[in-house]
Amino acid sequence: MKEKLEQLQAEAFEKIQSASELSQLEEVRIRMLGKKGALTEMLRSMGSLSAEQRPLAGKQVNEVKVYIENALADKKNDLEEKALASRLDNEFIDITLPGKKPESGTLHPITKITLEIQEIFASIGFSVAEGPEIDFAKYNFDYLNTPENHPSRGLNDTFYISEDVLLRTQTSPVQIRTMLKNKPPIKIISPGKVYRKDEIDATHSPLFNQMEGLIVDKGITMSDLKGSLEYFAKSLFGENTKTKFRHHQFYFTEPGAEMDATCPKCDGKGCRVCSNTGWIEILGCGMLHPNIMEICGISHLEYSGYAFGMGIDRIAMIKYGLEDLRLIYDNDKMFLGQFIGR
């Protein structure tokens, strides 16, 4: 038996030493120490030995067992260390490779121009007020002095939710809401989405953006209106920009006007953008109509004010030289990617 043990030990030793993979070690373990392994069988056959022989034989088998177990563990350690060393040798970071630039988002042109316009008005004391996109017809039309039979009230022009509730067609109802809630002095601008039943084309969309402005205080005059809006045009389009005011009727202003600015593309010389006129219409404006001040509970004898409203999309098209409004809403990544930073 001793001979057999020595032979098994030698065999196991050799197999373990020559193993180059963990699976080979496992094979040795099963062959020697597994349920049907050679040593296990020998331990099992102890029963047939005499009582004097048994302790010595048991001890010898156990010694070989421990020897093989230790040899397996040592070799396993060895193989694992080698595997780790070779992985560390092969896997390394080549810091000379060009890096991958993280993709950064950009502001949407409408957001960008809105922020820019807001900043200009903030610099002369206007704060931002908001109003709902779903509003009462009375705020969108009645309180704004719109005649009962005016076509803009019709189902062809306006999205109604019920008889009295609609998608606002302009940001002007924010004027009404602000005057109903606050006492003068009032000095706000209000950007937001508005809705009209327009067919989509290069200059129209059923959803677009407007910015409203309103100021109410003692002694506000037409020259305040002109001064502020001229300052706005110069800040947005450049110091050399000139403005002119043409009379225009809005039901909620008296008098009302439209402001044109010299075309920023050609500096007023005349080009395709301004249809060779040198001028571009920028916004509607006017002194607050006494009627709407009274409706809102503000005395037109004590106070006066002016208001203005502009299409933000239109201004973005002028400022960024866009020929088709649909570009703004298509969300093409190549197009939007141009509007980096502020």
Kindly state the smallest distance separating residue 274's Cβ from ligand DAH, in Å.
20
Of 59-67, 201-209, 237-245, 279-287, the window that binds ligand DAH (rule: CB under 6 A) is 279-287
Kindly state the smallest distance separating residue 223's Cβ from ligand DAH, in Å.
16
Q: Which residue is nearest to ligand DAH (CB)?
A: 309
Indicate whether 285 belongs to the interface with ligand DAH (CB under 6 A).
yes
Q: Of 4-63, which residues contact ligand DAH (CB under 6 A)? A: none
Give the CA-trace dihedral at 294, 300, 304, 305, to 10 degrees: 20
Binding marks (x or -) toward ligand DAH, 229..268, rule CB under 6 A?
A: ---------------------x--x---------------
Indicate whether 192 belongs to the interface with ligand DAH (CB under 6 A).
no
Closest CB to ligand DAH among residues 37, 192: 192
Kindly state the smallest distance separating residue 169's Cβ from ligand DAH, in Å.
7
Indicate whether 309 belongs to the interface with ligand DAH (CB under 6 A).
yes
| Cα gap 75→313, rounded to integer Å | 75
Q: What is the largest CA-CA distance in the chain?
A: 128
Q: Which of 135, 212, 260, 313 binds ligand DAH (CB under 6 A)?
A: 212
Indicate whether 307 belongs to the interface with ligand DAH (CB under 6 A).
yes
Strands 127-128 and 186-195: parallel
Residue 295 tokens, joined: 């409706």
| Cα gap 285→213, rounded to integer Å | 9
User: Which of 44, 43, 11 shows the shortest CA–CA distance to 28?
Assistant: 11
Indicate whether 137 belongs to the interface with ligand DAH (CB under 6 A).
no
| Cα gap 41→137, rounded to integer Å | 97
Closest CB to ligand DAH among residues 16, 126: 126
Of 91-99, 221-229, 280-288, 324-332, the window that binds ligand DAH (rule: CB under 6 A) is 280-288
| Exposure b/e, 120-158, CB count within 10 A at least 16 = b | bbeeeebeebebeeebbbebbbebbbbeeeeeebeeeeb
Place of tokens 């099963």: 30
Closest CB to ligand DAH among residues 250, 303: 250
The angle formed by the CA atoms of residues 298, 299 and 301, to the nearest 5 degrees, is 150
Closest CB to ligand DAH among residues 19, 259: 259
Indicate whether 172 belongs to the interface with ligand DAH (CB under 6 A).
yes
A 10 A CB-CB count for 241 gives 20
Place of tokens 């950064």: 104
Binding site for ligand DAH (CB under 6 A): 170, 172, 212, 250, 253, 284-286, 307-309
